[in-house]
Amino acid sequence: MTAAARSRAAVSDVTLAATLHDASGSLASMMREWLPALAAQYRAVLVATSPPTAPRVRAMLATAGVYAGTPSTNTRGPLYRLALRKALDAGGRRVHYLDFDRALHWVARRPRELEALLRCTADHPVLLVGRTPAAHRTHHRPLVETETEANRAFARRLGVGRRLDFLVPSFVLTRDATVRLLARSRARDAAIYGEWAALIAGLGRSLAYVECRGLDWETPDRRPRQVARIGLAAWRRRFERADEWERRRRMSREFIRSFELTLARWPVRRWRLRSITIAATRAPRLHARATAGRVGYM
């Protein structure tokens, strides 16, 4: 098989398992514009929606052939696991989990980077996809600072002396690794972010990690007119309220608590962390400046 054929096979073997909460239908226009381009990147796209998501949005997904259903409860755990189960049903060798609004944003802003990422997945049974520091900083401060605290706690607990971003969340797993994740996952709501971080670290002997610029803040896509009217910086400051800071601090504590409880149930003994860099060019290729080092669990 030629290198080009291997690259095409890698892309076609990845199924996107996505989740969406859109009670107002604010993403409808973006879906119409960018879902075809997103679907072209994957073997299949499956989108599970929260119960409050607008019926017209679910209808659009169904018409496009990507609707994966809606769980009976409005909690993250059942929603996220539903998306993964439906992605497994669709076949393919690998599953990429990502929130649907983030996926649309990525393919609209940096499609070559997304394609470059998918081309390299065949080499890594467990691939964690994080944000570059610059992409993370585009989000509002209460989210950035509390997620940074939680990510640091995760890395320290795993004995890693560098930045890791578990909290997009985004990862690409083989079918077998996806089945193991589903078998071990039981968190109901926000605790799933800490649970999945711990479980992903222990799914294999090696964890590949890559940071991407296309995972910058996707929420402004839902309010393009408001953002255009007052500017992104002013719109971002609207989220810097005392109640938002408190909500994000509570979530961060819950992430860390869930991470610890999950490690107690599914310990990570020893593993290898491989840092990967991708470069999106006109003909995307993996720049395999990978580093591998043995990491001890402490």
Domains of the chain by range and CATH? 3-271 (3.90.550)
Return the bridge partners of 97, or none: 17, 171
For the chain, counts of helices (H) and of strands (E): 13, 8
Distance between CA atoms of residues 111 and 106, nearest Å = 6
Examine the pLDDT at 298 and tell me if it is beyond 80. Answer: no
- Output the pLDDT for position 289: 33
**Do residues 135 and 213 lie in contact, with contact meaning Cβ atoms separated by under 8 Å?**
yes
What region, left, alpha or beta, does residue 69 occupy, with left being phi > 0 and alpha being psi -120 to 50 degrees?
left
* pTM, two decimal places: 0.90
Examine the pLDDT at 95 and tell me if it is beyond 70. Answer: yes
Contacts of 85 (CB under 8 A, 6+ apart): 182
pLDDT in tens, 205-247: 899 999 999 999 999 999 999 999 999 999 999 999 999 999 9
